Amino acid sequence: MSLITSDRFSLIIGLGKTGFACAQYLAQQGQRFQVADSRQEPPYLTQLQQQYPHIKIHLGEFETALCVAASEIILSPGVSRQEPVLRAAIAAGVSIRSDIDLFARVARKAGVPIVAITGSNAKSTVTSLVGQMAVEANVNVAVGGNLGDPAVSLLDDAVELYVMELSSFQLESTTALGADVACVLNVSPDHMDRYPNLMAYHQAKHRVFQACKSAVVNADDALTNPLVADTVKQTRFGLNDPDVGQFGLRQHQGEAWLSQGLKTLLPVAEMAMVGRHNVANALAALALGQAVDLPMASMLATLRQFTGLRHRCESVAKRGQVSYVNDSKGTNVGATVAALDGLTGTIDGKIILIAGGVGKGADFSDLVAPLVEYAREVILMGQDAGVIAETLGQQVPNFIVDDMAQAVALAKAHAIAGDLVLLSPACASFDAYSGFEARGDDFTQLVQAL
């Protein structure tokens, strides 16, 4: 029996932080909705029951009949579109949307500019940096999405600029973003346990460019080049001499400067962030900020003050002329390679890398060349330690330990003056920790106790 119009409802799938924020938003709009989660005790179950006791909640295995009956499905990023019940819903003509679609529709209607940032690595750093540049310019900015607060919870009439970090999982079900400026910072293999190949992951990332007004492109990464109309302005950033109007590095007065075209902007030495990878992040942020008319003076002032985010190449301590750096957010191979490349020029010695965890189906072979060049040794732990050790073989000295305490102790014993001990796991943390933050905190506490 077909449902009559009054029986139609939106179905929120996933009752984590994003799903709960969507429930609050739909309730505020007076829209009929139900909620489903495959877990018996999802994180926000109690809050939903207390705030909206009349809402139907479906727990356990997803039901095809429920999904097909919905007028639309609002899908949390943690749930794959390849779930059989969702494929059935798509076949039945049910639209599947993300929280980003809900957010963008309201933001665009209000005429508030959106900066949309994605990439395999550094998106949290660049998103936070652009947000801080807006604060420095006295712009009422809201920063969130995949970072911090869910997008729909940021909607507010007083906001003058939205700066959004977006994951590939969010973008999969986003169909109408229309950002004022969009950027894929970089693309390297990640989440290969969810995507069949790199092309599928790449295509998900590039959905950030849907109907964008302008695009920011990494000149050093061809996989970031967007397929957009000729009318969409493109600004490039990279670590070489920039063309006219583009952002890059120039040698001036014997040192490297952040530059736009021929115009030098700021000596790299005056940046608060360190590492070559963070120079690229700063250039990306300048290009994004300029696209939404942030004053250059405010952006450069921010670069002199912004030291970076926790767990992202964060300097922890120096013990016995050995530096210790926490890059626990390095949850994929590309991030760890960027950290190795970015930090090696800041030390006199070699890097001792602590890595391992849940590899997410990754190919670790891209680690070999930089480790051969920069590393004294690699200390491995976690679920996929053996996989990484097999990839490295005899090319780089490597040791497998049971936990972080053993890893830090072994690194201390083997490091010599001028070395840097780097936690950059190239893996997720869920085999041993609640998240990368807990892993980084464990490393930090152990180092500080040395």
Residue 191 bears catalytic tag? yes
Q: What is the mean pLDDT of residues 63-85?
A: 94
Please report which confidence band the pLDDT of residue 280 belongs to, taking 50, 70 and 90 as the band edges. Answer: very high
Question: For residue 59, is pLDDT > 80?
Answer: yes
Tokens of 180: 């004022």
Number of alpha helices (DSSP H) and beta strands (DSSP E) in the chain:
15, 20
The mean pLDDT of 92-114, rounded to a whole number, is 96
Is the backbone of residue 99 left (phi > 0), alpha (psi -120 to 50) or beta? alpha
Strand 255-260 and strand 263-267: the pairing is antiparallel
Give the DSSP H/E element, type plus range, for residue 165: strand 161-165
Q: Which of 69-73, 274-278, 350-354 has the lowest mean pLDDT?
A: 274-278
Burial of 229: CB neighbours in 10 Å, binned 0-12, 13-18, 19+ = exposed
Question: For position 1, what pLDDT does the model report?
Answer: 29
Known catalytic residue at 318: no
Question: What pLDDT does residue 92 have?
Answer: 95
pLDDT the model gives residue 309: 85
Catalytic option among 121, 146, 218, 398: 146
The catalytic position among 123, 311, 329, 360 is: 123
Catalytic-role residue among 186, 191, 329, 360: 191
Positive or negative, the Cα torsion across 95, 96, 102, 105?
A: negative
Q: For residue 345, what pLDDT is reported?
A: 81
**Angle at the Cα of 192 from the Cα atoms of 187 and 198, rounded to 5 degrees:** 45
pLDDT at 84 over 60: yes
Which structural domains are found in the chain, ordered by start?
8-97 (3.40.50.720), 101-305 (3.40.1190.10), 314-448 (3.90.190.20)
Of the listed ranges 6-15, 199-208, 288-297, the least confidently predicted one is 6-15
pLDDT digits (tens, 9 = 90+) for 410-424: 999 999 999 999 999
pLDDT at site 5? 40
- 181 vs 204: CA distance, rounded Å: 17
pLDDT category of residue 4 using cuts at 50, 70 and 90: very low
Widest pairwise Cα distance in the chain? 78
The DSSP 8-state label assigned to residue 273 in this structure reads S
Q: pLDDT tens across 355-405, in order?
A: 999 999 999 999 999 999 999 999 999 999 999 999 999 999 999 999 999
Contact by Cβ (8 Å): 33, 55: yes
Q: Tell me the C-alpha distance between 385 and 399, whole Å.
A: 9
| Residues, the chain | 450
Q: Whole-number mean pLDDT of the chain?
A: 95
The answer on pLDDT for 308 being more than 90 is: no
